[in-house]
Amino acid sequence: MAKNKIYYRDGYKYQIVRDYVGKTRILGYDIEIPLWHLYKDGSYIIRMFYAYDGPSGPTWDRKSNMRASLGHDFKYQLMRLGKIPESCRGIADAELKEECLEDGMNRFSAWYYYEGVDHFAAYAAKYGTEGKIKEAP
C-alpha cells in the first residue's frame, strides 16, 4: 500500500470547538475561507476547528486573555495572508486590550499586554510570514 503524505503547519496550541462570532472596527472587507468569514460591517465568524496559538509573549494563558487572543490571532493572520493591510494592526491591538478588559483583566495587565504587541509584534502581522507548510513522512 502506498503511503500518503500529510501536510501541516506547526505553532498552534489551541483549537476552538464551537463557532465564535465577533466584531471588529476593521470594515469594508468580505473575506471567506472554510474556517472564517470577515464581513464588510466588521462582524466575523471563526469556525469550529480553527487553530491558534493563544496569548503570546511574557504572559500566561488565562480566561481574561483567551478570547482576545483568538480575535487578535485571526486579525494578524488576515494581515499575514494579505487579506487586509498591515495598517489594520493598530485596530487589532487596541481591540485586544479592550477585550482583555471586558473579560476581567486588570488595567495594568491589559495595558502591559497591549504595549507588548504594539511595540514587538509587527513581525507577526507582516505579509508573507504565515508558517510554512511542512510535509511528513
Q: Where do the domains of the chain lie? A: 6-128
Separation CA 53–CA 40 (nearest Å): 26
Question: Can you tell me whether residue 74 is helix, strand or coil?
Answer: helix
pLDDT at residue 82, rounded to an integer: 96
Question: Can you tell me whether residue 62 is helix, strand or coil?
Answer: coil
pLDDT at residue 118, rounded to an integer: 94
| CB atoms inside a 10 Å sphere around CB 23 | 12
Q: Report CA Rg, the chain.
A: 16
Separation CA 55–CA 63 (nearest Å): 10
Residues 57, 117: contact at Cβ < 8 Å? yes
pLDDT at residue 95, rounded to an integer: 98
pLDDT in tens, the chain (137 residues): 667 999 988 888 999 999 999 999 999 999 999 999 999 999 999 999 999 998 877 778 899 999 999 999 999 999 999 999 999 999 999 999 999 999 999 999 999 999 999 999 999 999 999 888 999 98
pLDDT at residue 2, rounded to an integer: 66
Q: Are strands 43-46 and 20-23 parallel, antiparallel or unpaired?
A: antiparallel
**CA torsion sign, 22 to 18 to 46 to 57?**
positive
